[in-house]
Amino acid sequence: MRKVIIIGAGLAGCYLATQLQDTCDVTIVTKKSPKDSNSMLAQGGIAASLDPGDSPAEHAADTLTAGQYHNKPAAVNQLVATGPKLIQQLIKAGMAFDRQADGQLDFGLEGAHSHHRVLHANGDRTGAALTSFVQSQLHRVQWQSNTTALALKVQDDVCVGITVRNERTGQLETLTGDAVVLATGGLGNLFPLTTNNQTITGDGIAIAARAGAAISDMAFVQFHPTLLTLHGQCYGLITEAIRGSGAILVDENNHRIMANVAKRDLAPRDVVARHLKAWQQQGHQLFLDISAIPNFTQRFPGVTENLDNHHVPFRTTNRIPIQPGAHFVMGGITTDLSAQTSIPRLFAIGEVACNGVHGANRLASNSLLDCLVSAEKAAEKIQALQPLTIRPTATTNKPAVKPILPTLTDLQDKAWQYLGVVRTRTGLRTFLDWLAQFNYRQLTPEQLSDNELAIANLCLCANLIANAALAEPKSLGAHYIKEPAAKKQVG
């Protein structure tokens, strides 16, 4: 029986495990608990052309438009064609998506979609509902919780396992298998304001990069326009579905910020985020005006609970204080359409991977769909693999190198300043010069504490983002370069 090691307990990793558990020996390794993932936090929903008036072709067109045609068309076609079938299978298995009074599926609208095609579950708690349902289908897998993935084990240029550390005992262990799958999410905690779970520190990208795997499109980091922000701190996502239901972005004077922009409040996220940042830099405060939404508390119970927990008086003001913040990275570990990376038998699925589906800017609610589709394709490939013969190798203890690392706060502040919503070439070079004083590349993960490892991984990801951004010839999608003003000719 093939052995498969899956790193990550979000929707991608767990859905893959459901597809493999009957034919493979599956172990899921997760940094904290099965409930700690970005998938559990996803509010907006999952996009699919299941409505009779919609079509995969229209979904593909919207995905390509949002991605600025930097997407791989084959990956987009695979997403929109396979996704609806997988969702129908989940519904047949008992997954309960929200429905209208007549029993029909209730499709929502989000930014840059030309059709109502976004399914929700429990209102704005889709990610938690879907991931929990998929986890409930797992009956034949081994779990290793509170376990950190450190480094890949590669023999003859083939991935044969991964070294992990139990964070309660400190014990190191090398798990070997016929396939290793990275499903670790993105790198949101590189930035001070983020929608991401606190465990998301670029681990999978860093692990793959250290092993020499190809990495793509790291310039493209999506900043979500609406994070609940109080006193400069982020307290979670305010789902785009609220704008899809009629909310508008305003300042303290009730001026409509997106009034003169194409598609207004439902423009692509990079456009909205840049407009909000520019407005904020002029000294304005940013709010989401929800006065046009009837039954807000019933329609958005998760957001309501979060607002109440933080004593936001939205019932009287009809306003939610927001700011843009880091949300999703379109780049990551390069994969083919079967989730295979450049290292044989190493797979990557979900946000950690770059299969070309998202292009330069992810279309809203395509990420949960990509988790399902990339996992399904990985399962097909893994089940066709021949079992490996793994040679025993002696462990070599590398001499310890004293870490020279920034504090997480300093790294986040610099990343926000230079790698954020608006970038400059001078700023990117300044950031790389600052990063060069640290030795994150020379450190051995096994010798680092949890905190040191998280910072080292984020430093490596930051380096990849900055260099990729410098290599991009012009602004594209979520990567926006502000070029210096042309000098006036004298004469």
Q: Give CA–CA dist 352/357, Å, rounded.
A: 13
Q: What's the CA gap between 456 and 448, in Å, rounded?
A: 9
CB contact at 8 A, 446 and 172: yes
> In this structure, what token pair is assigned to residue 418?
């230079």
pLDDT single digits (tens) 390-421: 888 777 778 889 999 999 999 999 999 999 99
Answer positive or negative: Cα dihedral of 260, 264, 267, 270.
positive
pLDDT given for residue 435 in this prediction: 98
Q: Of 9, 53, 40, 76, whose CA–CA distance to 349 is shortest?
A: 9
To the nearest 10 degrees (0 to 180), the angle between helices 11-20 and 367-383 is 30
User: Average of pLDDT values for 112-127?
Assistant: 92
Residue 110 pLDDT > 90, yes or no? no
How far from 474 is each of 462, 479, 491, CA to CA, in Å? Answer: 19, 8, 30
Domain ranges of the chain: 225-324, 408-471
With residue 363 as reference, give the H or E element that holds it. none
- Determine which helix (DSSP H) or strand (DSSP E) holds 344, and give its type and residue range: none
Fold category of 408-471 in CATH? Methane Monooxygenase Hydroxylase; Chain G, domain 1 (1.20.58)
pLDDT tens-digit map of 360-370: 999 989 999 99
Three-state DSSP state, 455: helix
Place of tokens 């590349």: 441
DSSP 484: P
Q: What is the mean pLDDT of residues 86-95?
A: 98
Q: What is the pLDDT of residue 109?
A: 84
Instruction: Tell me which H or E stretch contains 438.
Output: none
Q: What is the pLDDT of residue 485?
A: 60
Q: Is the pLDDT of residue 241 over 90?
A: no
The hierarchical CATH code for the domain 225-324 is 3.90.700.10
Q: How far is CA 318 from the centre of its chain?
A: 30
Residue 476 forms beta bridges with which residues? 479
CB atoms within 10 A of CB 206: 26
Q: Is the pTM of this model over 0.85?
A: yes
Structure-token pair, residue 170: 């400190």
Q: Which of 117, 269, 299, 345 is catalytic?
A: 269
Q: H or E segment at 143?
A: strand 141-144
Question: Do the beta carbons of residue 197 and residue 186 sit within 8 Å?
Answer: no
The pLDDT of residue 240 is 85
Per residue in 418-476, pLDDT (tens digit) is 999 999 999 999 999 999 999 999 999 999 999 999 999 999 999 999 999 999 999 99
- Whether 243 is catalytic: no
Question: How much is the pLDDT for 144?
Answer: 98
Is residue 112 very low, low, confident or very high in pLDDT (cuts 50, 70, 90)? confident
Which element (helix H / strand E) includes 453? helix 450-471
Closest Cα to residue 68, out of 275, 214, 188, 220? 220
CA gap 324, 344 in Å, rounded: 38
Report the length, in residues, of the chain.
491
Q: Write out the two tokens for 192.
A: 């001070």
